[in-house]
Chain A
Amino acid sequence: MIPASAFLVLAIILFGLGILAFFIKRDLLTQFMAVEIMLNAGNLAFLALAKASARAEAQVIVFFVLTVAAAEAVVGMAIVLHVFRQKKSVRTEDASELKG
């Protein structure tokens, strides 16, 4: 039996990697994947705690997160596509018109 804390540690590592990747990488697609990793790290934490506390609510929340992630993926990809069409590039430095 693997203890819940192990899953939580894994979730923290995944989440940290996601943040790291989001800040190191410079193109939208990769950053997008980093966000997905963070989301799934969150899901893992939920499931670990659900198992540890033997309650079902957290599992339900995971489904919600999955749904939101799917919707977010659709919108996010559409935005990336449009940015590419406009700029011929998906690098974030190239889309900085909202500078004050």
Chain B
Amino acid sequence: MAGSFWLIPLIPALSTLILLLLGSGLSRKWVSIQACLSVFLSFILSLASFIHLLRMPGETPAVVKTLLPWISSGTLSAPISLSFDPLTAVMCLVVTCVGFLIHVYSVGYMASDRDYSRYFGFLNLFTFFMLVLVMASNIVLMFVGWEGVGLCSYLLIGFWFERPAASRAGMKAFIVNRIGDAAFILGILFLIVTVGSPDFARINSAAAGGGLAPSLVTLIAILLFAGAVGKSAQIPLYVWLPDAMEGPTPVSALIHAATMVTAGVYMVARLNGLYSASPVASSVVATIGAVTAVFAATMALVQTDIKRVLAYSTISQIGYMFIGCGVGAYAAGIFHLATHAFFKSLLFLAAGSVIHALSGEQDIRKMGGLRRHLPRTFPTFLAAALAISGIPFLSGFFSKDAILTSAFSSGHIVVWVLGLAGAIMTAFYMFRLVFLVFYGQEKAGAEAQHHLHESPSVMTVPLMILAVFSVLAGYVGLPAVVGEKADVFGRFLEPVLRLPGAVLSAAVEWNLILVSTVAAVGGLFIAYLFYLRYPRTPGVLVARFPWIYKVLVGKYYVDEFYDAAIVRPVVRGSELVYDHFDLKVIDGSLNGSAAAANAAGLGLSRLQTGLIKDYALAFLLGVVLFVGFILFLKI
């Protein structure tokens, strides 16, 4: 069974084919069972391969299987080849586990949707591409998965394509990602030219060996990171993710919180040899991550759409993962990726349950006092909120602390301070949500009150399972002060991801943990003061600093700036080119050649008189000329 790890992505692929080709002919029950079962089988296979990996002796446990030759030209060879090493194992487990739970949840959430089989077909397709992305053993095949998940993201954001906002958001996501991907392709090409092989193992060893020019390594690393910035929604390409919330909520949970958007972090961690070889590129990664973590958190403070708050929170948390990768603590970044996948998908799914209960209401100003009506959703949401805020002993605490500690120990003090500021805001905006949605007065109208109901078990059971993971997942990666071997997660990943060199004294580390805890609890307490104890405070602050509030609500006017600086000039330029070049030059030359052919045909048709004698005369003249020519030549 362990040798068949290459089947992990193929099972959802098969399911996709069946669902998309025969979709309308299958019953809803069949579609649900098949879609969920395919991902569950992948999960079981991932688990089996993971256990196999644990038992494998040797320094670097990994299995590689080449399925097919693919690109083979001269010395370049990029086969379709999958590998399974500790990093892939973590990603596969996260993707298939969270993916399976979200598939199950979708059965309830999408129950009344018309395009049931199309939805699950796309969701399975996404799982396939995501698994290809994390299992590819070379960067070219990884790029196939990379683009595939982008395609599925586009298809699922615009799933309700009859809504103009949804189809616009899908296009925006796709186009913004193209910008990053252009740089990513350039990076791949440079990499192949420089290293001579797209294989991850060879890239990392070549970069670590120091045989490559440092400037070239930096250039490649930054180009590839530009692709990650697009995919993982970091500054300056984050603008697509908040709009992506137009898609169904389980899609936001799976693609735009737990898995796809973290692909950039995975890519940086996978190429850790390359990034470690370039301090400049690593600083860029850490800086972008830290600035994004704070910048996105400030926007999350004032959003009123429950899903958009979570979207900005996702951007901010991915910023933390990049901090981890940028300061050399790749394992910490991946650790936060894994815990974040659990608690953020739980937050989205619980938010979906709230939206479901309120018949589609997403504005938190119209919610309140829901904890009595949603007895299963509320505790799970609370658990996830506590986890993401970094309250001690929950998963988010351990992973965020691992990142901040590494930032501090590697000497990135500014990054550490930014991360801490982000942590305070994280706790604040999460508990702003909790207090506004679940506490206080009930603000739902009589009509919505009437429909108010807890979601069915098919939706709440995945929430509870995710809640268990959100609480407990952190215990696989305890901080180093607890014990030499406490960081099971980091030690498991050590063969793939180098651990940071600097080690702090126990006292400093305890102090850092204390500071993180104070930040998290402080943020929570401020939210308590603002939204429960003295609910008039936010209004007073807005009246006091109206322009700060306006800038935050306006999301720093970045969308407007992009619109004015890029979108509109491009559209205007395209219109100009269309009017003057397309219509006049291209259409003109095409129409002109058609008219010329027509005129020539009309002229030549005069020769056809329909009289046999004229034809015979032409024939005779031809013969005379031909014979005369031959005779003349002979003479």
Q: Judge if A97 is at the interface, Cβ distance under 8 Å.
A: yes
Find out whether the CB atom of A22 lies under 8 angstroms from the CB atom of B607. no
Find out whether the CB atom of B605 lies under 8 angstroms from the CB atom of A93. no
Find out whether the CB atom of B606 lies under 8 angstroms from the CB atom of A100. yes
Find out whether the CB atom of B607 lies under 8 angstroms from the CB atom of A100. yes
Pull 23 A–B residue pairs with CB atoms less than 8 Å apart, ordered by A: A19-B620, A22-B616, A23-B613, A23-B616, A23-B617, A92-B611, A92-B612, A95-B610, A96-B609, A96-B610, A96-B611, A97-B610, A98-B608, A98-B610, A99-B608, A99-B609, A99-B610, A99-B611, A100-B605, A100-B606, A100-B608, A100-B609, A100-B610
Provide the residues of chain A in CB contact with B620, threshold 8 Å. Answer: 19
Provide the residues of chain B in CB contact with A97, threshold 8 Å. Answer: 610
Provide the residues of chain B in CB contact with A23, threshold 8 Å. Answer: 613, 616-617
Interface string of A83-100 (1 = CB under 8 A from B): 000000000110111111
Provide the residues of chain B in CB contact with A93, threshold 8 Å. Answer: 611
Provide the residues of chain B in CB contact with A98, threshold 8 Å. Answer: 608, 610
* 12 further contact pairs, Cβ within 8 A, besides A97-B610, A99-B611, A100-B607: A22-B616, A23-B617, A31-B612, A92-B612, A92-B613, A93-B611, A95-B612, A96-B609, A98-B608, A98-B610, A99-B609, A100-B606
Tell me the minimal C-beta distance from B71 to chain A in angstroms: 55
User: Bound state CA distance, A36 and B613, in angstroms?
Assistant: 16
Provide the residues of chain A in CB contact with B612, threshold 8 Å. Answer: 31, 92, 95
User: Bound state CA distance, A100 and B607, in angstroms?
Assistant: 7
User: Bound state CA distance, A23 and B620, in angstroms?
Assistant: 11
We find that the number of chain B residues with CB closer than 8 angstroms to chain A is 13
User: Bound state CA distance, A93 and B610, in angstroms?
Assistant: 8
Within 8 A of B (CB), among A6-24: 19, 22-23
User: Bound state CA distance, A31 and B606, in angstroms?
Assistant: 24
Provide the residues of chain A in CB contact with B613, threshold 8 Å. Answer: 22-23, 92
Residue numbers of A with Cβ under 8 A of B are: 19, 22-23, 31, 92-93, 95-100
User: Bound state CA distance, A96 and B607, in angstroms?
Assistant: 13
Most buried by B among A95, A96, A99, A100: A100
User: Bound state CA distance, A98 and B612, in angstroms?
Assistant: 10
User: Bound state CA distance, A92 and B616, in angstroms?
Assistant: 12
Provide the residues of chain A in CB contact with B604, threshold 8 Å. Answer: 100
User: Bound state CA distance, A92 and B612, in angstroms?
Assistant: 7
Tell me the minimal C-beta distance from B545 to chain A in angstroms: 85
Provide the residues of chain A in CB contact with B616, threshold 8 Å. Answer: 22-23
Instruction: Sort A-B residue pairs by CB-CB distance and give the 5 closest, nearest first.
Output: A100-B605, A96-B610, A100-B608, A99-B610, A98-B610
Within 8 A of A (CB), among B610-625: 610-613, 616-617, 620
Tell me the minimal C-beta distance from B363 to chain A in angstroms: 74
Provide the residues of chain B in CB contact with A100, threshold 8 Å. Answer: 604-610
Tell me the minimal C-beta distance from A99 to chain B in angstroms: 3
User: Bound state CA distance, A4 and B608, in angstroms?
Assistant: 42
Tell me the minimal C-beta distance from A96 to chain B in angstroms: 3
Tell me the minimal C-beta distance from B621 to chain A in angstroms: 12
Tell me the minimal C-beta distance from B455 to chain A in angstroms: 78
User: Bound state CA distance, A72 and B613, in angstroms?
Assistant: 19
Provide the residues of chain A in CB contact with B609, threshold 8 Å. Answer: 96, 99-100
Tell me the minimal C-beta distance from B627 to chain A in angstroms: 12
User: Bound state CA distance, A95 and B613, in angstroms?
Assistant: 11
Closest to A31 in B: B612
Interface string of B177-200 (1 = CB under 8 A from A): 000000000000000000000000
Closest to B603 in A: A100
Closest to B612 in A: A92
User: Bound state CA distance, A22 and B609, in angstroms?
Assistant: 17
Tell me the minimal C-beta distance from A32 to chain B in angstroms: 11
Tell me the minimal C-beta distance from B502 to chain A in angstroms: 90
User: Bound state CA distance, A31 and B611, in angstroms?
Assistant: 13
Tell me the minimal C-beta distance from A51 to chain B in angstroms: 23
User: Bound state CA distance, A97 and B611, in angstroms?
Assistant: 9
Within 8 A of A (CB), among B24-45: none
Provide the residues of chain B in CB contact with A19, threshold 8 Å. Answer: 620
User: Bound state CA distance, A100 and B610, in angstroms?
Assistant: 7
Provide the residues of chain A in CB contact with B605, threshold 8 Å. Answer: 100
User: Bound state CA distance, A99 and B604, in angstroms?
Assistant: 11
User: Bound state CA distance, A99 and B610, in angstroms?
Assistant: 4
Provide the residues of chain B in CB contact with A31, threshold 8 Å. Answer: 612
Closest to A99 in B: B610
Closest to A98 in B: B610
Provide the residues of chain A in CB contact with B610, threshold 8 Å. Answer: 95-100
Tell me the minimal C-beta distance from B109 to chain A in angstroms: 70
Provide the residues of chain B in CB contact with A99, threshold 8 Å. Answer: 608-611
Within 8 A of A (CB), among B367-407: none
User: Bound state CA distance, A99 and B606, in angstroms?
Assistant: 8
Tell me the minimal C-beta distance from A36 to chain B in angstroms: 15
Closest to B615 in A: A98
Closest to A93 in B: B611
Provide the residues of chain B in CB contact with A96, threshold 8 Å. Answer: 609-611
Provide the residues of chain A in CB contact with B611, threshold 8 Å. Answer: 92-93, 96, 99
Closest to A23 in B: B613
Within 8 A of A (CB), among B132-190: none
User: Bound state CA distance, A95 and B610, in angstroms?
Assistant: 7
User: Bound state CA distance, A22 and B611, in angstroms?
Assistant: 13
User: Bound state CA distance, A23 and B617, in angstroms?
Assistant: 8
Tell me the minimal C-beta distance from A85 to chain B in angstroms: 18
Provide the residues of chain A in CB contact with B606, threshold 8 Å. Answer: 100
Closest to B616 in A: A22
Tell me the minimal C-beta distance from A38 to chain B in angstroms: 11
Tell me the minimal C-beta distance from B524 to chain A in angstroms: 91
Provide the residues of chain B in CB contact with A92, threshold 8 Å. Answer: 611-613
Tell me the minimal C-beta distance from A92 to chain B in angstroms: 5
User: Bound state CA distance, A99 and B608, in angstroms?
Assistant: 5
Closest to B620 in A: A19
Tell me the minimal C-beta distance from A86 to chain B in angstroms: 14
Most buried by A among B604, B605, B613: B613
Tell me the minimal C-beta distance from A26 to chain B in angstroms: 8
